């Protein structure tokens, strides 16, 4: 579970979250919002609003005798009686935080509240609240066997608007995990330990994955260290083949049991675990004494398929299991944080759920109506574009590279400009080199050279094939911060966006230690109109 070392850079204060509010919430449970009461762990509280009583995932698990002991979602309530906060965001411009709740009891996320709070700046997701009432909230993952890129070796936090989605006809946001991003709770209540039985599911973006270790959701070590075989039980999704794999080229749903990603009873290859290609994916792992299973299905329609159900792996150390009861999201048990993925909702249960219970949960997920939004800004892979500044000073200026030193700048380009200037301001949109759900920009006049950041300055460089280059050259488009065009988030620095400052180009946060992080005109400077290519 090794990671590629990364270049040392300054850390943004926004990336590290440790206020007393979050700590108190993590210990004592989230308060209910809007005067409603949070659901009991058995899902039995009285209901009003969107969801019918007993109809949501944790209601169904409780009815099956395997109640949720952790329930996380940034898109909707998972109990029909839940009326508390789903997650918390922190604003870059002033460090203020806000809980984002549901539109109604048992309903969908109030994305409009996030949009209003984060308007003209950026936000990070600082807490993902546990709806079970047990206080098993997820916060910024601390260092473990591997350090993260944020201050003190913590992992990054997810940019709050990076994974827009529509659920039940309502706008919502998922948790976009870029490499280096992760959440954890090492001090949980009610999560299975030792060989105790448990179940878990997660709804994920089936098109967002990589071969890094390890995009997990589930049970992990409380120390953040690899403490041996059988000390984890978590859902894994991705296409790494180092420890285990199934048919095809992936991605696969597997179980991370520590020192092994298992696709079946054998270490390595198991033929019954297929590659999956659903845009929205339901992934299920459950385990008990010498019994475990992998199930998965399309989160938009249809049922669950069982890819494996049988005894524990035929490798020493996994029977009996030695689960420790921490909860992780987006990382491995030892804080391996090279993975990518998007999480929408998931739960962990007490007890080994029946297939019938999971099938009922899957039917509810299908009915929730997950759909993908239109891509931001019309950046179509394979097309050529030019990127025009939208700040009032510079609406005739385009992002281009210099001819002499390869640095990126903004400069005027018109129909009468020399052909070389037009070509320097034209980019070919490629699938993101470090994350295929994002984009990279290949220079139109320097094939093989890509726009990338290096010590925060943007420039064009030849692709050296390294993991660092691929991440530095990947940008994730979202709606423009000033309401125009697109804003382009750095794939590996989630609070930094492509910005022009004093006619040079950087990745920049909204406030920080460098001049180019200035809050003045930040929303305008980070918004780009996607224009027809000059060349």
**Backbone angles phi and psi of 2, in degrees to 5:** -85, 155
Q: Which of 65, 90, 344 is nearest to 202 (CA)?
A: 344
Answer for the pair 319, 290: CB distance below 8 angstroms, yes or no.
Answer: yes
Separation between Cα atoms, residue 24 and residue 271, nearest integer Å: 46
Which one is catalytic: 159, 216, 226, 334? 334
Check if the beta carbon of residue 89 is closer than 8 Å to that of residue 97.
yes
Q: Is 209 within 8 Å of 239 (Cβ atoms)?
A: yes
Query: Buried b / exposed e across 311-335, counting CB within 10 Å, b at 16+?
Result: ebbebebbbebbbbbbbbbbbbbbb
Q: Which helix (H) or strand (E) holds 62?
A: helix 57-63
Q: At 515, phi and psi to the nearest 5?
A: -55, -40
Q: Which of 420, 439, 387 is nearest to 535 (CA)?
A: 420
Give the H or E element holding residue 429: strand 427-431
DSSP structure string for 436-455: TTSEEEEESSSTTEEEEEET
Positive or negative: CA dihedral 386, 124, 232, 361: negative
Q: Return the sign of the alpha-carbon dihedral for residues 409, 410, 411, 413.
A: positive
Query: Which residue among the candidates 258, 273, 324, 421 is catalytic per the annotation?
Result: 258
- What sections of 236-341 are H helices per DSSP? none
User: How many residues appear in the chain?
Assistant: 535
Q: Which residues pair with 389 in a beta bridge?
A: 528
Tokens of 189: 């209540």
* Residue 334 is a catalytic residue: yes
Tell me how far apart the alpha carbons of residues 465 and 445 are, in angstroms, rounded to a whole number.
20
Contacts of 23 (CB under 8 A, 6+ apart): none
Q: Do 180 and 210 touch, CB atoms closer than 8 A?
A: no
d(CA 263, CA 171): 34
Evaluate whether 89 touches 118 at the Cβ level (below 8 Å): yes
Are 376 and 479 in contact, with CB atoms under 8 Å apart? yes
Q: Which residues are catalytic?
A: 258, 334
């Amino acid at each position: 579970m090794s990671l590629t070392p990364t270049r040392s850079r300054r850390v943004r204060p926004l990336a590290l979250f440790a206020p007393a509010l979050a700590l108190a919430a993590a210990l004592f449970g989230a308060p209910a919002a809007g005067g409603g009461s949070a659901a009991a762990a058995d899902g039995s509280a009285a209901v009003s609003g969107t969801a019918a009583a007993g109809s949501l995932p944790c209601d169904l698990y409780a009815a099956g005798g395997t109640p949720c002991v952790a329930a996380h979602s940034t898109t909707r309530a998972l109990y029909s009686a839940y009326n508390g906060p789903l997650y918390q965001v922190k604003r870059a411009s002033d460090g203020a935080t806000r809980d984002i709740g549901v539109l109604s009891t048992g309903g969908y996320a109030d994305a409009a509240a996030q949009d209003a709070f984060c308007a003209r700046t950026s936000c990070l997701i600082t807490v993902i609240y546990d709806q079970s009432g047990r206080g098993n909230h997820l916060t910024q993952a601390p260092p473990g066997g591997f350090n993260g890129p944020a201050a003190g070796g913590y992992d990054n936090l997810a940019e709050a608007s990076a994974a827009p989605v529509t659920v039940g006809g309502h706008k919502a946001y998922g948790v976009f995990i870029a490499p280096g991003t992760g959440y954890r709770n090492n001090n949980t209540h009610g999560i299975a330990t030792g060989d105790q039985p448990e179940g878990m599911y997660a709804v994920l973006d089936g098109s967002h994955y990589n071969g890094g270790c390890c995009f997990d959701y589930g049970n992990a070590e409380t120390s953040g260290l690899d403490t041996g075989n059988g000390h984890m039980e978590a859902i894994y999704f991705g296409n790494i083949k180092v420890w285990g794999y199934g048919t095809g080229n992936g991605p696969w749903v597997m179980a991370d049991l520590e020192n092994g990603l298992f696709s079946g009873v054998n270490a390595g290859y198991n033929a019954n675990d297929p590659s999956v290609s659903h845009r929205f994916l339901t992934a299920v792992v459950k385990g008990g004494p010498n019994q475990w299973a992998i199930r998965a299905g399309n989160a938009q329609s249809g049922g669950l398929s069982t890819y494996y159900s049988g005894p524990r792996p035929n490798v020493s150390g996994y029977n009996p299991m030695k689960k420790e009861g921490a909860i992780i999201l987006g990382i491995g048990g030892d804080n391996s944080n090279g993975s990518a993925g998007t999480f929408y909702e998931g739960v962990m249960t007490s007890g080994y759920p029946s297939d019938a219970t999971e099938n009922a949960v899957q039917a509810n997920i299908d009915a929730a109506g997950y759909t993908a939004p239109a891509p931001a800004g019309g950046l179509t892979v394979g097309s050529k574009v030019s990127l025009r500044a939208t700040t009032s000073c510079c609406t005739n200026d385009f992002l281009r590279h210099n001819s002499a030193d390869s640095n990126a700048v903004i400069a005027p380009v018109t129909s009468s400009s020399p052909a070389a200037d037009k070509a320097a301001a034209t980019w070919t949109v490629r699938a993101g080199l470090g994350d295929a759900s994002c984009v990279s920009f290949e220079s139109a006049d320097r094939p093989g050279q890509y726009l990338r950041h290096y010590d925060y300055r943007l420039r064009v460089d030849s692709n050296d094939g390294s993991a660092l280059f691929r991440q530095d050259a990947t940008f994730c488009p979202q709606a423009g911060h000033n309401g125009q065009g697109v804003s382009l988030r750095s794939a590996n620095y989630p609070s930094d966006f492509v910005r022009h400052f004093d006619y040079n180009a950087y990745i920049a946060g909204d406030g920080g230690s460098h001049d180019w992080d200035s809050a003045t005109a930040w929303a305008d400077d980070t918004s780009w109109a996607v224009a027809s290519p000059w060349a």
